[in-house]
Amino acid sequence: MSIAAEEGLTPSPALLKVLDGAVDLHCHSGPSPFPRRFDHVEASHDGARINMRAILCKSHHHNTVMDLLAMKSQLVNAPTPMFGGVALNSEVGGVNPSAVAVAINMGGKCVWGPTVSAGQHMRAHSHDDGFPSASGNLYEKEESIFNAAGDVSEETHLVTRLIADAGIMMTGGHLDGESMKAFFKTASGNGVRRIMLHHPDFIVNATDADIEEMVGYGAFVEHALSMYHPQVPAPQWPIERLVNWINKIGPERTVLNSDLGQQGNPLPVDAYIFIVQQLLDHGIAEADVRQMICRNTAYLLGLEETN
């Protein structure tokens, strides 16, 4: 597989021991309407460079379980197990219990809240800021977890019950803080145990009070390695920012994922090698790193019953 042979960073034996068994819950491998650097099969081979335990492939636009089933013959001998799910954007009917049921029945492990169809996302990318767009118009419209009266919709309640019954992960996508708190409160009340808040300081812009409330509903707080990598055009935050987040939230409720796979960006594994070494150099303990990249992520994907 060419992606595995491509020249990349080589971790030291000590770093490889820390990275061993990592689970990436935010891999943007293809196919996708957005330009992608590699497909799901190539992502599996890339993950083998650090003996990843599993990868969850995310698309903003379609059910990725279908991709994996279509690639079944190519993945049969692939080294890193690949998992998929569905994002509740307008391409699948928004907060659509039918789309969720299909994904779950096909083996899906995650339901992402609205991302590119979230009002918060649309407002954040209403100007030319480099966010990729597909050729042509995808006719996306804003999707909400609320009904016309401003209450959490029956569809949202049913979606969360389906997720709870399946025992899989739910994320808030790119919803705004108020919507995401209501989403998580509903999910927790309906029995969802695996909940993740994506990059709270990027697009979502959740306040400390928002985050505290969401953690109270059982949410884990994700930070994307891509946002701290110097070869990713934006935001190129300093590693000290991530260290501060880890110290504030605590490794027991923090998750680190790549959020990579886009054309022109580093390979996910190279981001793990580069950023994790920086965290270690800045005083984050090996055990805490493994908590964030191995244990918490394995729990959220359903590979472990506790974290």
Q: What confidence tens digit (pLDDT) does each residue in 246-286 have? A: 999 999 999 999 999 999 999 999 999 999 999 999 999 99
- Percent share of the chain, pLDDT over 90: 87
Tokens of 38: 């590699």
Cα 135 from chain centroid (whole Å): 24
The 8 Å CB, 24+ separation contacts for 237-244 are 239/275, 239/278, 239/279, 239/282, 240/282, 242/275, 242/279, 243/279, 243/282, 243/283, 243/284
Handedness of CA 250, 253, 256, 259 (dihedral sign): negative
Question: Helices (DSSP H) in the chain: which residue ranges?
Answer: 2-5, 13-19, 40-47, 64-70, 72-75, 97-105, 119-124, 154-166, 177-189, 208-216, 239-249, 268-281, 286-290, 296-301
pLDDT at 5: 41
Q: How far apart are CA 84 and CA 214, in angstroms?
A: 24
Q: Are the CB atoms for 7 and 48 separated by under 8 Å?
A: no
Q: State the angle between helix axes of 208-216 and 177-189 in degrees (0 to 180), rounded to the nearest 10.
A: 10
* Overall average pLDDT of the 26-51 stretch: 97
Residues 149-167 have a mean pLDDT of 98
CATH of domain 2-126+141-301: 3.20.20.140
Q: Is the bond preceding 11 in cis, omega lying within 30 degrees of 0?
A: no
Please tell me the predicted confidence (pLDDT) of residue 238: 98
Nearest partner of 283 among 251, 256, 235, judged by Cα: 251
pLDDT score of 2 more than 50: no
Across the range 63-77, mean pLDDT stands at 97
Of the pLDDT bands very low, low, confident and very high (cuts 50, 70, 90), residue 287 is very high
Q: Which amino acid does the sequence have at 213?
A: E
pLDDT band at 236 (very low <50, low <70, confident <90, very high): very high
Per-domain residue ranges of the chain: 2-126+141-301
What average pLDDT does the segment 119-132 reach?
64
Instruction: Please give the torsion angle defined by the CA atoms of residues 290, 113, 42 and 70, in that order, rounded to the nearest 10 degrees.
Output: 130
Tell which wins on pLDDT, 222 or 2: 222
Length of the chain: 307
In this predicted structure, what is the pLDDT of residue 126?
58
Q: What is the mean pLDDT of the chain?
A: 93
> pTM of the entire structure?
0.94
State the virtual CA torsion across 163, 169, 174, 177 in degrees, nearest 10.
80
